[in-house]
Amino acid sequence: MELKTARSNTNKKPKKIELKKIEDMVKKEGSVILYFDRENSHKDLLELQEHFENEGKSVYLREVRYGLADNEYMYEVHIL
């Protein structure tokens, strides 16, 4: 599974991150907070949540709005 991380600039394209890299981050840190771009499908983020819950982790997923326009949001994921 490949997800797009949140943009650092609204004019740039989002960078991609593999599930394996996220797993490595969780193993190393124990818990992580990640921000994903709006171009990710909600279904993919729910699959990410389910993957880590099956491993016994707690996952919190929410939508973060940073502007008033409909397309000004990102996803925040906490994996504990």
pLDDT in tens, 13-64: 999 999 999 999 999 999 999 999 999 999 999 999 999 999 999 999 999 9
Contact by Cβ (8 Å): 62, 50? no
Indicate whether 12 pLDDT > 80. yes
DSSP letters along 9-39, please?
A: STTSPPPEEEHHHHHHHHHHHSSEEEEE-TT
Tokens coding 80: 């504990």
Which residues, in sequence order, are bridge partners of residue 17?
A: 3
Q: How many domains does the chain have?
A: 1
Which burial class, exposed, middle or buried, applies to 48 when counting CB atoms under 10 A from its CB (0-12, 13-18, 19+)? buried
**Domain span including residue 29:** 2-79
pTM: 0.89
